[in-house]
Chain A
Amino acid sequence: MEKVLEVRDKTKTPELNYLNNGYSVASWLLTKDHKRIAMLYLASVSFFFMLGGFFAALIRLELMTPNSDLLQAASYNRVFTAHGIIMVFLFLIPAIPATIGNFFVPLMIGAKDLAFPRINLLSWYLYMAGGLVAAYALLQGGVDTGWTFYAPYSTTFSNGWVVVTGLGAFIIGFSSILTGLNFIVTIHTMRAPGMTWFRLPLFIWSHYATSLIMILGTPVIAITILLLALERIAKIGIFDPAIGGDPILFQHLFWFYSHPAVYIMILPSMGIISELIANFSRKRIFGYEFVAFSSIAIAVIGFLVWGHHLFVSGQSIYAGLVFSILTMIVAVPSAVKVFNWTATLYKGSISFDTPMLYAFSFLGLFLVGGLTGLFLGTAGMDIHLSDTYFIIAHFHYVMVGSTVIGYLGGIHYWWSKMTGKEYSEFWGKISAMLVFIGFNLTFFPQFILGYLGMPRRYASYAEELQVLNIFSTAGAGVLAIGMIMPVIYLTASLFNGKDAGDNRWHLPGLEWRTSSPPPTENFYEPPVVTWEAYDFSDENGLEPRKELTKETV
Chain B
Amino acid sequence: MQNNSWIPLFPEQASSFAWQVDLLYFYIIAVCLFFGTSVVIAVTWFAWQYREKEKFATPKEIHGSNVLELTWTAIPFVIAMTIFVFGSYVFFNLYRMPADTMDIYVVGKQWMWKFQHGTGQREINELHVPVGRKIKLVMTTEDVLHDVFIPAFRTKADVVPGRYTYLWFEATKPGKYHLYCAEYCGLNHSGMGGWIYVMEQRDYDNWLAGNVTNQTPVESGQDLFQNKLGCASCHQETNQGRGPSLKGIFGKDQKLTNGQTVSVNESYIKESILNPQGQIVEGFQPIMPTFKGQVSEDQLNHIVAYIKSLSGNTTPTMTSSPAAKTPTAATPAKVEPTPAKPAGSPNPSAPSNVKGGK
Contact = CB atoms under 8 A, between A and B. Distances in A.
A335 interface: yes
Given A346-B50, A360-B47, A378 B42 contact: no
B158 interface: yes
B161 A453 contact: no
Interface string A140-164: 0000111010101100111100000
B170 to A, nearest CB: 15
B206 to A, nearest CB: 29
A241 interface: yes
Contacts of B295: none
Contact of B39 (A74, A338, A387): A338
Interface in A320-374: 320-321, 324-325, 328-329, 331-332, 335-336, 338-340, 342-343, 345-352, 360, 363-364, 367-368, 371-372, 374
B81 to A, nearest CB: 7
A145 B185 CA distance: 8
B6 interface: no
B86 interface: yes
A286 B84 contact: no
Contact of A328 (B40, B80, B147, B155): B80
Interface in B52-67: 52-54, 56-65
Interface in B147-179: 147, 149, 151-152, 154-158, 160-163, 165, 178
A448 B8 CA distance: 10
Interface centre among A360, A379, A453, A456 (most CB of B within 10 A): A453
A242 B65 contact: no
Contacts of A458: 189-190
Contacts of B60: 347
A201 to B, nearest CB: 16
Nearest to B18: A384
Majority DSSP secondary structure for residues of A touching B: helix
A352 B51 contact: yes
A525 interface: no
Contact of A347 (B42, B50, B183): B50
A153 B25 contact: no
A241 B187 contact: no
B24 interface: yes
Contact of B156 (A156, A321, A387): A387
Interface stretch (B69-77, B264-272, B285-293, B307-315): B69-77
Given A283-B61, A313-B158, A451-B11, A345 B46 contact: yes
B50 A453 contact: no
Given A144-B187, A157-B144, A312-B157, A282 B58 contact: yes
A317 B59 contact: no
A460 interface: yes
A233 interface: no
Interface stretch (B89-97, B119-127, B251-259, B297-305): B89-97
**A148, A158, A328, A460 — most chain B CB neighbours (10 Å):** A328
Contacts of A287: 63-65, 68-69
Nearest to B352: A242
A262 B264 CA distance: 57
Given A157-B357, A284-B63, A371-B36, A381 B351 contact: no
B161 A451 contact: no
A241 B162 CA distance: 5
Interface string A493-519: 000000000000110000000000000
Contacts, number: 291
Contacts of B325: none
Contact of B143 (A157, A321, A460, A468): A157
Contacts of B40: 364, 367
A282 B56 contact: yes
Nearest to B53: A349
B182 to A, nearest CB: 4
Nearest to B11: A452
B73 A379 contact: no
B138 interface: no
Interface residues of A, number: 96
A256 interface: no
A384 B151 contact: yes
B180 interface: yes
A331 B115 CA distance: 41
B284 interface: no
Nearest to A158: B186
Contacts of A248: 160
Interface in A270-291: 281-284, 286-290
A375 interface: yes
Contacts of B180: 453, 455
B328 interface: no
B358 interface: yes
Contact of B46 (A150, A342, A461): A342
Contacts of B185: 153
Nearest to B92: A317
A287 B182 CA distance: 43
A459 interface: yes
A345 B179 CA distance: 49
Given A157-B144, A380-B24, A349 B155 contact: no
B102 interface: no
B218 interface: no
B1 interface: no
A542 B61 CA distance: 14
Given A324-B88, A367-B35, A381-B87, A317 B156 contact: no
A211 interface: no
Contacts of A102: none
B9 interface: yes
B151 to A, nearest CB: 3
A233 to B, nearest CB: 16
Contacts of B182: 386-388, 455-456
Given A74-B187, A157-B358, A451-B11, A379 B91 contact: yes
B4 to A, nearest CB: 12
Q: Which of A159, A312, A328, A371 has the most CB of B within 10 A?
A: A312
A74 B357 CA distance: 16
A313 B358 CA distance: 24
Interface string A371-400: 110110011110110111000000000000
A332 B25 contact: no
Contacts of A325: 81, 84
B135 interface: no
B261 interface: no
Contacts of A150: 144-145, 183-184
Contact of B61 (A145, A284, A317): A284
A317 B96 contact: yes
Given A332-B80, A335-B72, A374 B50 contact: no
Contacts of A350: 46-47, 50-52
Contacts of A347: 50, 59-60, 62
Contact of A384 (B46, B54, B155): B155
A74 B111 CA distance: 14
Nearest to A452: B11
A367 B145 contact: no
Contacts of B232: none
Interface in B176-216: 178, 180-191
9 contacts: A77-B187, A242-B355, A243-B352, A247-B160, A340-B69, A345-B42, A349-B51, A386-B182, A537-B61
The 7 closest A-B pairs by CB, nearest first: A453-B151, A380-B90, A241-B162, A378-B87, A287-B64, A458-B190, A345-B46
Given A289-B64, A328-B81, A384-B151, 7 more contacts: A144-B187, A153-B144, A332-B73, A345-B42, A378-B28, A387-B182, A452-B11
Interface of B: 9-11, 20-21, 24-25, 28, 31-32, 35-36, 39-40, 42-43, 46-47, 50-54, 56-65, 68-69, 72-73, 76-77, 80-81, 83-84, 86-96, 110, 143-145, 147, 149, 151-152, 154-158, 160-163, 165, 178, 180-191, 351-352, 354-355, 357-358
